[in-house]
Each structure stands twice: as C-alpha cells, then as structure tokens.
Amino acid sequence: MKRYLILEDGTVYPGEGFGAETVTTGEIVFNTGMSGYQETITDQSYNGQIIAFTYPLIGNAGINRDDYESITPTAKGVVVREAATVTGNWRAQMTLDEFLKRKHIPGIMGIDTRALTRRLRTAGTMKASIVDAADAHAFDQLKALVLPKNQVQQVATTQAYPAPGTGRNVVVIDFGLKHSILRELAKRSCNLTIMPPTTTAEEILALHPDGVMLTNGPGDPKDVPEALTMIRGVEGEIPLFGICLGHQLFALANGADTFKMKFGHRGFNHPVREIATGRIDFTSQNHGYAVDPASIDPATLLVTHEEINDHTVEGLRHRLYPAFSVQFHPDAAPGPHDAAHLFDEFMEMMDAFNRGKDTTHA
C-alpha cells in the first residue's frame, strides 16, 4: 500500500503503509533510541505527534503486556526505515503492525529516516502528514492544521484514583504520566493518589500527603497556567518532585521562563552532569521545551543538572523549600537507569521533612 510522508516545507517522502489505514497529521519529531519503541509510542508526551525512529529496524520484539506507558496511546503516526513483520520474542503478544491497527495509528516504512532526521535538525520540528496522495489538497490540509493548545487535558485523568500501597502517601499530579513513574514509586512502597492537572493546592493539602509528584506530559508548559498556582500553594508545605513537564511547570511557578527548542531531546543517550558532584548520568528524555537559564532567579532556584551536549537546564532545586525537579526521566522506560536514585532522594526528602515536623510539634 503506497503512502507518502509530506512535510509543511514541501518535502515528500514516498513509502509503504502499515498499521491503521488512515490519513494523519501532526507535529513530526524524531527519536534516537535503538529499542523501547513500545514504551515510546505509548508515552502520552507524544500526544499529537508523528514519531520518526532513527534506528533502521523497529518492531522486531513485537508488543508485550509489560511495556505499556499508557493503555491508549495518542501519537498520530509512526515513521520507520523498516518495520519487522515477524517476531520470535517470548513475551510478544502481537506484531507492531497489529498493534498500530488496533490503536488506529497509521505508519509508513521505507523512509530514509536518517535523511529525515537531518532535515528536522536543520529546519526544526514541523507539521507533517501521512497521506495516500501527495497532492495539492494534502498540502493545503497540512498548512491549515492548527496544533492544539489543550494537550494535557486530552491525555490526563479527569478523576482522582488510588494506587494503593503501604508506605509514604504521595499525591501524583497527572499531566500525561508514564506508568513507569507509578512503578518506581510502587517499588518504594508508596501509597499513591493520582489526581487531575486541575487539582488545587487546597485539595492536595486536605489529603495530608507526605509528598507531591508532578509528572511528565505533552505540549507547551505555558498552556497549563492553572498548575502554577497549585505548585506555589504546595511548595514549602510538603516536599515536591517534578519530572519533564513537571520540571518546566516548577520553573515557571518560581519565576523562570521556558522556550520551544528547535528539535528537542527524544531518546535515551543524553548525558547529564550533576553540577555539584560532576557525576554523569545517561538519561532518557522526551521534550520539546526547556527552561531558559537566563530567566532563573538564583536567589530562588539552584541549577543542579545540565545537558553536556547543549548545556540546557536539566535540574532545579528550590533554595528555601524541599522541592526539586529534573528535565529527564529517572524512571527511564525505555533507557538507562542511571538516575533512578532520584526517586530515593525524594523518599529521603519526605522522611526528613516529616522528622522535622515531628520535632517541631514535640
């Protein structure tokens, strides 16, 4: 089945279709990971995006029940050099093609994804379509597309729900969370309450949690202004940990600014330096926005981590309150687990804060 990938700059890439037999349009981005395609496709941070994989063979391990980062992925499309048609992996329940058909996500293969990536690195991310005919009508439709501003509302929960545990009580604010964040907290015996992005500080504090987690999610952090009031009302009252979009929202809530990157960080080979110790972690990342270092008030926020290649801000800590954030994914999935210790630091922060409260009340 002949299909075409077309970009808003007029570029056309012919290929063969797989997955769902539908036309799709969205922002095209590239991911440099060599594995972990199931976690990537089901990551809600890719909401509304067409994912181009730079690794030449995708799908050889099939799809299994363990590696979902969400049950209903909202990526708009998948672009690969070659899509594996069979799998011998013992965990596989279906092929990538079958999975994309079930989830109504179209794909295109036979694309020179490295040439595509070079174009995106040069021109930046842009709108794209996977279509059956690369004609004037398809380009008109593409140019008319307006990328949505309510991406978090499209993917986050609208109702609070529990993930019971027996340890520390943690409120998780869902901006489009990855299940691996919940898994890491569950490993540490946390009793979780997952709440919508519209949750207020008063609603959180009424639950008397030991800490608050701000999760990852899609889109521009400035499209979630209600979260900033919540963060300001929570920090200082209970420990707080933000990841990815949560990191950007934490920065905005404390007076910093964010900007859209030319092509973002999407993959899991990004080296990050902890400034205080010089420790290098290879990290999993998926974001198209970053915190502007020139906008950070050093009296309020301390920059704790930086990306080695482009020196973007990768971590922040509040000077006065028990609150910190990172731009990368310490939960990995996919990717290296170098930074998983940050979840342990969050546990220690909550314990220390509670010990301090107990001493104050004694």
Q: Which residues are catalytic, by number?
A: 244, 329, 331
Binding site listing for L-glutamine:
45, 217, 219, 245, 248, 286, 288-289
Please, what sign has the CA dihedral across residues 61, 63, 66, 67? Answer: positive
Give me the half-sphere count of Cα atoms (radius 13 Å) on the Cβ side of residue 270: 28
Backbone angles phi, psi at 270, to 5 degrees: -90, 115
DSSP labels, 127-179? EEEEES--SHHHHHHHHH----S-HHHHHS-SS-EEE--SS-EEEEE-SS--H
User: Longest C-alpha distance within the chain, in Å?
Assistant: 75
Rounded CA gap, 156 and 173, in Å?
A: 9
Q: For residue 284, count CB atoms less than 10 angstroms from its CB and return exposed for 0-12, middle for 13-18, buried for 19 or more.
A: buried
Beta strand 211-214 with 169-173: parallel, antiparallel or unpaired?
Answer: parallel
The one-character DSSP state at 40 is H
Rounded CA gap, 142 and 26, in Å?
A: 9
Binding site listing:
45, 217, 219, 245, 248, 286, 288-289
Torsion of CA 112, 86, 101, 51, to 10 degrees: -30
Please, what sign has the CA dihedral across residues 128, 132, 135, 141? Answer: negative
Residue 75 near residue 38, CB atoms below 8 Å? no
Reference 341, options 279, 287, 250; nearest CA is 279
Please, what sign has the CA dihedral across residues 333, 335, 341, 345? Answer: negative
Cα distances (angstroms) measured from residue 186 to each of 29, 170, 172, 275, 284:
31, 10, 12, 29, 20
Please, what sign has the CA dihedral across residues 165, 172, 284, 152? Answer: positive
Cis status of the peptide bond prior to 334, with omega within 30 of 0: yes
